């Protein structure tokens, strides 16, 4: 195995752990959300990250057993545009008290998604395999959509005091 292939194997292991942690983070955020629409948003993102974990794990198994990349067609989990939802008084009090909040979750989510975009972009650059490049490109694109969504939600909560997003 070449050094480049070893680096890719290491990167895949890092990606697996990151996807697992992302799914858990969104799941916990859903469990802590007070509003059912916000719960649904974070639950959907948790499911999406779990799907990424499963596909990257499938890739790792295929590379280990067959030395081949798998075909990844992408994944679409539609998160509908949300009309504006005023923040609850409880959420406003939490934000004003400086307690851990959904804002900290949204900040962490943006960081996690930005790292995932970089990771999958880099992984795509590390392989010459056509299917590998396509898979990592699609994964990076999907993570970029998550980053855009989390950035929009953060901006609306921070600047307008409402939960709002345009969807995926």
Tell me what pLDDT residue 164 has: 86
Quick: pLDDT tens for 31-90.
Answer: 988 778 888 889 999 999 999 999 999 999 999 899 889 898 888 776 766 666 565 566
Looking at every residue in the chain, the average pLDDT score rounds to: 84
Average pLDDT over residues 149-161: 90
Calpha distance 109→49 (Å, rounded): 12
> Is pLDDT above 50 for 130?
yes
Q: Would you say 63 and 71 are in contact if contact means Cβ atoms under 8 Å apart? A: no
Q: Which residues of 124-146 are buried (b: 16+ CB within 10 A; e: fewer)?
A: bebbebeebbbbbbbbbebbbbb
Average pLDDT over residues 18-38: 90
Q: Quick check: pTM over 0.85?
A: no
Q: What percent of the chain has pLDDT over 70?
A: 81
Calpha distance 69→130 (Å, rounded): 9
> Is pLDDT above 80 for 126?
yes
pLDDT band at 1 (very low <50, low <70, confident <90, very high): very low
Calpha distance 26→168 (Å, rounded): 16
Calpha distance 166→153 (Å, rounded): 9
Domains of the chain, earliest start first:
3-165 (1.20.1260.10)
Of residues 103 and 7, which shows the higher confidence score?
Answer: 103
Tell me what pLDDT residue 92 has: 62
């Amino acid at each position: 195995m070449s050094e480049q292939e070893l680096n890719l194997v290491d990167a895949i292991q890092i990606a697996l752990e990151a996807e697992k942690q992302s799914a858990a983070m969104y799941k916990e955020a859903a469990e802590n959300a007070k509003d059912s629409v916000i719960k649904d948003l974070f639950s959907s993102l948790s499911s999406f990250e779990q799907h990424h974990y499963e596909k990257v794990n499938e890739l790792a198994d295929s590379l280990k057993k067959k030395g081949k990349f798998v075909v990844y067609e992408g994944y679409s989990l539609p998160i509908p545009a949300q009309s504006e939802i005023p923040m609850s008084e409880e959420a406003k009090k939490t934000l004003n008290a400086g307690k851990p909040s959904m804002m900290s979750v949204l900040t962490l989510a943006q960081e996690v998604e930005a790292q995932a975009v970089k990771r999958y972009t880099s992984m795509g650059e590390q392989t010459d395999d056509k299917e590998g490049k396509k898979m990592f490109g699609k994964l990076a694109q999907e993570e970029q959509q998550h980053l855009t969504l989390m950035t929009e939600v953060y901006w609306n909560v921070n600047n307008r005091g409402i939960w709002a997003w345009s969807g995926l």
